Structure 1
Amino acid sequence: MQILIRTDASTKIGSGHVMRCLTLADMLKEKGAKIYFVCREMEGHLCELIETKGYQCFRTFNVKQTFDQKQDAMETLHLIEINGLKVDLIIADHYQIDEQWEQVVRKAAPKVMVIDDLANRRHDCDLLLDQNYFNKFETRYDGLVPAKCRKLLGLKYLLLRPEFYEDNITEENTNESVADVLVFYGGSDSTNETLKVLDALNLVDVTSLTFHVVVGSSNSNREIIELRCRERNYHFYVQINYLAQLMRTVDLALGAGGVTMWERCFLGIPSIVTVVADNQRESTEAAADAGAIWNLGWHECVEKEDLVDIINRAIEDPNGLKEMTKKAKQLMQSDIKYKTHPVVEAIMEILGHGDGFYVPKN
């Protein structure tokens, strides 16, 4: 069973697409699938990271500012052909790809899967995954995918790495005060939120707090951030592979919307969230409406003073943090575990390998 994943990362795009695809690749690999990636070599690409994870990454040089779907699709077909691949499934996780690209690459694979969360364009696919939570999320893709397409929608299908399920803490947080705080705004942090938080912390009494500041390898300000952390005795981490373990040690987090927001919710970590991309707006608002996070809103409107105010409020309200922990875990259904992830089960089924792979374990 051969599966090809088409996705990208860059300083502008961020690392989220690649990271969730790597999570899915690892799950599929456990089922015996051979996984290949196709990525563009843009500034901040993660091709080497993909390769260190044990996957072959074919590099395309379609790096024009204006993305050409037809050219990219033809180049993907060419890479499949010259490498002698017999692809059973092509997975596309890319905001610039729609039915035009998907119709072309169908020449090389019987099945196509799309990972999306924008619901703003048509797809020609057999399986669509949108792992986010929105108001009325069940109907977001009506009219955008073929009638035959199976839709995997909602937090049930969230692609969490295995370490998030290991020894998951399902009890309420019993800490009486905030002691450890996580600061992580994604791999690239293209809007520079980490430095904004560090500026705000200069105005907060942090003598009783321990800060853990995490950045990705594609963060262009990582050296400046490291220096600032060293000056303030904050713990500093780059591209770590034990984020879930670190998350379990903290009482409060500051970060962006998107997948990492749901990861924090899954572990019941009270979060102060800044929206750094358009595709995060709706889901962040929905999570805030459910009481699972604090939503500071669009990053350009978040000032240093806003961060100072919310951090102080969080520190002074441990009971509010406990309630947020409870609501976050309820939203995520964190007590439910799967023998096989439901996304993997759906993929196995459309490829003819279903039959009992998906067994909920309470």
Structure 2
Amino acid sequence: MRLLLRCDAGPSTGVGHAVRCAAVAEAADAAGHEVLWSGRLDGLDWLWAGLVTGPPRTVLPPADDAGSLAGLARGHRIDAVHVDHYLLGDDLRDPLNAAGTVLSTVEDFATGRRPGDVVVDPNLGADEHPRPDDGSPLLLRGPAYAPLRAAARRARRERDAGHPAGAPPRVLVVMGGTDAAGLLPRVVAALDAAGAPAEVDVVVPPGRSPELPAGGPARFRAVAPLADLPAAMAGADLVVSAAGTTVWELCCVGVPMALVLAADNQTDGYRTVVAAGAAAGLGGIGELAAPEQAGAVLRGLLTDPGARDALARRARTVVDGAGAGRIVDAITDAVRRVGGARGSAPLARTSPARAGQDPRVEDTTAALHTRPATLADAELLLAWRNDPDTRRNSRSADEIDLDTHRRWLAGSLDREDRYLLVVSDTTGPVGTVRWDRDCRGWEVSITVAPERRGGGLAAALLQAGEDALRERTGSGTPLIAVVHRENAASARLFARAGYVDDGTGPDGEGFRTLCRIL
């Protein structure tokens, strides 16, 4: 597949669009696709230096309207265009389709909204926001589709390996690649007003030179834009950030964060992340005009490691870091559905997540995606859990109430030894996969939505859950399934998936243990 990425980066637009496209470029390159760019991309050496793929191999002139973009697609035999740009208009799809090209387009709630063959909105809560039906056949909505660079996933693992307590706390301040709203001086003033000891690194974009305080309990240092910003995040006790693309990297790494509302289009995402308990909110330009209010919030975080840890635990449940690969998979499927550009043969899937795909799973797996569960899923998960057939085949058959379930869910999301996933297709959630770790390995529990039973989804859910766990733990992880001796369907499912009896036989309640290595 030949994939064209269309975005701009600069003082007026910021660099978030380019950062998101860079993550898609890495995923597409890893899947064996050819990637080209179109746009104004000057001053991004720091970004290219941190990518697995390095700088773009081919940068075409910026195409600023539907006709010129379709012309680029025709001239360079492009199979799909991925647009991360708010200002190109909402008339791109038909001209591109007429050129034999699939359109993938990114929106942030209503900002940048346009019809597309694939529509991506990576914001927390996007999948619950009403969206007008504009004929877009595939909507990828929510943080499961946050396109993150490989560096963010690497930093997540590094932080998992152990993060020593620091005294005083280490703080990283990053207001985006350009600080287009000029917020750095106000954020620095708020940290100074906090009156708490801290070692503060302030990422200063080119052309900015904020005056850094001296003589207070916090020590400030200016640093240039970082090629591996996620690695710096992993080494911080607190990050103060604009509420843009950086938020999803921070969630993935699992870093306590305090967010600043830097632009109107960040409002919905800012409010949702703060309301979810994944970040502290400092407000926008108005709230930062007097530093004392934000300073009080920051002082609470700087002096209370428990408060920081609570933010980090909740943030990690929001984003798993595999969104870019899911986007590339969806674009590949869209190209394949139209037969490839210029009537070429259907594209073979080469994404690492699908390479060597288990033959037990039909093509439905390509349409499934997983995301970590959130508190917003409480009622949905409870309805599935209390379904009579689900309880009949579970070790705990009692029906439970919503308050009890919410307490259980909140506790589950904060646990490192539990990984709770919601699995969806293009119609919405279709089931859940839960992994629980003990001394033997990770035990799996699968629930197919009652209304979707009988459609052969169980095997697809199992593989989707295994793929998600592999992203978290790597290969070689011991897996466990506990199946009642009367549940023949589950026994067949796990047998086909390579799980074998551990030889201990059924327990006193008739459950036997099956095992395999991931």
**Cross-structure match for 2:182:** 192
RMSD: 3.1
Whichever residue aligns with residue 327 of structure 2, its letter is: V
Q: 2:307 aligns with which of 320, 324, 329?
A: 320
What's the TM-score, normalizing by structure 1?
Answer: 0.82
Alignment of 1:76 with 2:64, yes or no, is no
**What do the CA deviations read for 1:117-154 (whole angstroms, capped 9, x no partner)?**
133576332111111112x62453341343xx111111
Percent identity over the alignment is 23
> Does structure 2 conserve the Cα–Cα contact (< 8 Å) formed by 1:275 and 1:299?
yes
User: Does residue 294 of structure 2 align to residue 294 of structure 1?
Assistant: no
Cα distance in structure 1, aligned partners of 2:285 and 2:279: 16
Distance 1:267 1:49 in 2: 18
Q: Which residue of 2 aligns with 1:306?
A: 293
Secondary structure at 1:192's aligned position in 2? coil
Distance change (3 Å), C-alpha of 1:168 and 1:346: farther
How far 1:188 sits from its partner (Å)?
1.0
* TM-superposed deviation, 1:162: 0.7
Structure-1 residue corresponding to 2:97: 106
1:351 aligns with 2:341: no
Which amino acid is 2:264 matched to?
D
Q: Secondary structure at the match of 1:165?
A: helix
Q: Which residue of 1 aligns with 2:57?
A: 55
The aligned counterpart of 1:124 is 115
Partners in 1 of 2:293 and 2:123 — Cα distance? 27
Q: Deviations over 1:48-103 (max 9, x none)?
A: 9679613321223x7xxxxxx6xx2223334445xx41110011111123431332
Task: State which drifts further: 46-55 or 12-21.
Answer: 46-55
Describe the superposition over 1:176-228 as per-residue Cα deviations: whole angstroms up to 9, x where unpaired: 7652001001011111111112233444445x4211111344xx31xx23x64
For 1:156 and 1:131, how far apart are their aligned partners in 2? Answer: 7
In the alignment, which of 83, 89, 104 is matched to residue 92 of structure 1?
83
Equivalence for 2:270 = 284
Contact 1:215 1:237 (C-alpha < 8 Å) held by counterparts = yes
Q: Distance in 2 between matches of 1:230 and 1:256?
A: 24
Distance 1:108 1:248, change over 3 A: same
Judge conservation of contact 1:16–1:186 (CA < 8 Å) in 2: yes
Cα–Cα, structure 1 residues 300 and 32, in superposed 2: closer, same or farther, change >3 Å?
same
Task: Check conservation: 2:107, 2:113, Cα contact below 8 A.
Answer: no
**1:251-279 deviation per Cα after TM superposition (whole angstroms, max 9, x unaligned):** 01111112211211222211111111122
Whole-Å separation in 2 of the counterparts to 1:125 and 1:209: 46
Range with bigger deviation, 182-191 or 110-119: 110-119
**Offset of 1:116 from its aligned partner?**
1.1
- Which residue does 2:251 correspond to in 1? 265
Partner of 2:260: 274
Structure with bigger RCO (C-alpha 8 Å, 6+ apart):
1
- 1:331 aligns to what SS in structure 2? coil
Higher CA-based Rg: 2
Q: Given the superposition, is the C-alpha separation of residues 230 and 242 from structure 1 closer, same or farther in structure 2, using an over 3 Å criterion?
A: farther
Alpha-carbon distance, 1:46 to partner: 5.0
CA distance in 1, matches of 2:69, 2:45: 16
Q: In the aligned structure 2, how far is the partner of 1:330 from the partner of 1:277?
A: 25
2:26 corresponds in structure 1 to: 26
Q: Residues 178 and 318 of structure 1 are in contact (CA less than 8 Å); yes or no, is this contact kept in structure 2? A: no
